A and B are shown apart, each in its own frame.
Chain A
Amino acid sequence: MSETQNLRAWLLTDTPTSRRHAKYAAAYQGWLSFRSNTMAMIGLWILIFLVFVAVAAPLLAPHDPFEQTLSNRLQGLNSDGHILGTDSLGRDILSRLIYGSRITLFIVGLVALIAPITGLLVGTVAGYVGGWTDTVLMRITDIFLAFPRLVLALAFVAALGAGIENAVLAISLTAWPPYARMARAETLTIRSSDYISAIQLQGAGPMRIITKHIWPLCISSLIVRVTLDMAGIILAAAGLGFLGLGAQPPSPEWGAMISEGRRFILDSWWVATVPGLAIFTVSLAFNLLGDGLRDVLDPKDAEK
């Protein structure tokens, strides 16, 4: 007991004694303020549960997600051994949902890596360097922004061929411009501040200033924006799957599952509804998490 209390005091000190100590203390205090936000914690727990399900899919799934039993097709909810029923080919929906979480996480993870990093790079360089670089980079961004998102993704997938990897690339390609705009806007306000002038006066070059001084300030709002956009990304992936351009059958991608279930929506409503609910839950979880992260990470609020 006293040991945990000591640890707590050590983490809450306002006079850290080493670099590591200061880092841990800052992280712990951020965690404390995040933990007090109930809705954000709910979002976090849902996502932790999603990751757990994805990792332990082979242990959790009651059936093989690809095993077809045509005699057993379109069974209702809670019918012998199939808690969430079966789809048009007699496959267990719960098992497919569990395996589908892996695909969802794969899409979300990859897009969350590619799009914001591209946007951050383009936006901060454009904002900091200015002049011609700014004009060229931002007009390219405008061109991507001007395309309707799904149409561009469709064209891209159509050119490269259908498949989950190409769907991810297509979504990333359409998702980065807003991040670039946001990063540029933030860079413009940061660029003229005294602490950037101060580090320029120490002889720091543009690379150091962008990566070490501007990025840390842009990243927090970027993370918030990414988590808020996650819902849209999942839906875009589901949309591509629904149109048959994302994951290909028999892959248990949630959007593709809805697309399959659509034909039976009137007499077997659960086939399309269950994966729809899963998409809804995960999107909501990301939104809640993003809201909570904004409270913790936004430098404008954190400075109080």
Chain B
Amino acid sequence: MSMISVENLDVWFGRGRDRVDAVKGASFAVKRGESFGLVGESGSGKSTILRAIMGLAPDWSGQITVDGKAISGRREKGFYKQVQMVFQDPYASLHPRHSVDQVLGETLLLHGFTDIDDRVVKLLDDVGLGGKFRFRYPHQLSGGQRQRVAIARALAAEPEILLLDEPTSALDVSVQAEILNLLADLRVEHGLTYVMVSHDLSVVGHMCDQLAVMKDGEIVEIMAVDALRAMKAVHPYSQHLLEASV
């Protein structure tokens, strides 16, 4: 059974003549413990799919199923304990006036945990930040450290599914590798299911088992990562992407 499945998903912004269809008829399924990649150029609707799953894009139709439960309308509290998201830009995803301790503490409080102090320390250890970062503010952290905090926040609820929206594209190349390795380790440790958006085929090749290629809001091809490594793409657009990335 699939952990998360999307069928015939349409997402649009605006209405009437201003309507823009960001995603058209997207379908894919991710098995429990699997890591699924969404690739495509900017504006192809990859991130919009994640935002629609999380309830951040209000207008969508089709069917989204998480762990066998269909999702519609307002997300329940239980949903956020099961699915969490890491945003693309760690410079924009942390509140500039909240210290790391406040960010994690409030998240834990909202998820109903009571042993907040212990958990904050453990979360920081989990993402490779020691206790000395606990009371720092975002402007005292580097991009990589901020993204670690953002990952810790996503992990605070102990979710089963993590949606990653280009988690490394805003970071230096050397830091990118660190974050990707951290994410790979966390997946093994916590048995997480990933849906990862990226425009970088090598990142997806490193992190994922399956991937979908998107173009202009449509999924043109879903293939296993082995096929990607063997350069065996079927659709001309994915062949083109593969050639461009070599």
Contacts and interface: CB of A to CB of B under 8 A. Distances in A.
Interface of A: 14-19, 21-22, 26, 193-195, 197-204, 212-213, 216-217, 299, 302-303
Contacts of A26: 137
Interface in B120-161: 132-133, 135-137, 139-140, 150, 153, 156-157
Given A198-B87, A201-B85, A216 B110 contact: no
A303 B107 contact: no
Given A14-B136, A16-B135, A17-B135, A202 B111 contact: yes
A19 B137 CA distance: 11
Contacts of B99: 19, 22
B157 A194 contact: no
A89 to B, nearest CB: 53
Contacts of B97: 216-217, 299
B94 interface: yes
Contact of A14 (B89, B107, B140, B153): B140
B96 A197 contact: no
A194 B92 contact: yes
B87 A197 contact: yes
A193 B92 contact: yes
Contacts of A194: 87-89, 92-93
Nearest to B78: A203
A202 B99 CA distance: 17
A202 B95 CA distance: 14
A204 B110 contact: yes
B56 interface: yes
B38 to A, nearest CB: 18
Contacts of A193: 92
B50 to A, nearest CB: 11
B101 interface: yes
B84 interface: yes
Nearest to B77: A203
Interface of B: 54, 56, 77, 80, 84-85, 87-89, 92-99, 101, 106-107, 110-111, 132-133, 135-137, 139-140, 150, 153, 156-157
Contacts of B157: 202
B54 A195 contact: no
- Nearest first, the 5 A-B pairs at minimum CB distance are A22-B135, A194-B93, A16-B135, A15-B132, A194-B92
B135 A198 contact: no
A198 B150 contact: yes
Contacts of A200: 56
Given A194-B93, A213-B95, A21 B56 contact: no
16 contacts: A15-B132, A19-B99, A19-B101, A22-B136, A194-B87, A194-B88, A195-B94, A197-B87, A197-B93, A198-B85, A199-B95, A199-B110, A201-B85, A202-B156, A217-B96, A303-B139
A200 B55 CA distance: 10
Given A194-B89, A299-B97, A201 B136 contact: no
Q: Does more than half of chain A's interface fall in helix, strand or loop, or is it mixed? A: helix
B107 A202 contact: yes
Nearest to A220: B97
A14 B134 CA distance: 11
Contacts of B139: 302-303
A194 B136 CA distance: 20
B56 A203 contact: no
Contacts of B80: 201-203
A299 to B, nearest CB: 6
A105 B217 CA distance: 61
Contacts of B85: 198, 201
A189 to B, nearest CB: 12
Contacts of B96: 195, 217, 299, 302-303
Given A197-B87, A198-B85, A202-B153, 9 more contacts: A194-B88, A198-B93, A199-B106, A202-B106, A202-B107, A203-B77, A213-B95, A299-B96, A302-B139
Contact of B136 (A16, A213, A303): A16
B106 A201 contact: no
A14 B99 CA distance: 12
Nearest to A198: B93
Nearest to A26: B137
A195 B101 contact: no
Given A14-B140, A194-B93, A212 B135 contact: no
B153 to A, nearest CB: 7
A202 to B, nearest CB: 5
A199 B93 CA distance: 9
Contacts of A204: 106, 110
A49 B103 CA distance: 40
Contacts of A213: 95, 98
A22 B137 CA distance: 9
Contacts of B111: 202-203
Contact of A195 (B77, B93, B140, B156): B93
A194 B97 CA distance: 14
Contacts of A21: 135
